[in-house]
Structure 1
Amino acid sequence: MTKDNNSGDQKRLMLVDDDPNLILLVKDYLEFRGYNVITAENGRHALEKL
């Protein structure tokens, strides 16, 4: 498998979920697709990272 190449503009998103296994799975997939992923385990931690 090769990594997708973007047009140079890396999209950033925040992934919030209380299941660390799900976060890891989705984060890996999104990073493979060219996204810069920030994760948080709950809403409070997400707000702290904004």
Structure 2
Amino acid sequence: MRRWCARKSSSVCRMSAEKNRVDEETAESRSRIVDLQYQTGLLCKPVSTA
């Protein structure tokens, strides 16, 4: 990434780094949401009374 940044302005590099950071946080958040949805699904399963 340094080579690419060396050819671009520092503001573009900062913006790209920030976007990458936000994208990573978003991916982690989505993964956490999926985990929580799965856990919620397990908790909400109807109990068999047979």
Q: TM-score range by the shorter chain?
A: 0.3 to 0.5
Q: What's the TM-score once normalised by structure 1's chain length?
A: 0.34
Q: Which has the larger radius of gyration?
A: 2
- In proportion to residue count, which structure has more strand? 1
Q: Identify which of structures 1 and 2 has the higher relative contact order when contacts are C-alpha pairs closer than 8 Å and 6+ apart.
A: 1
- In proportion to residue count, which structure has more helix? 2
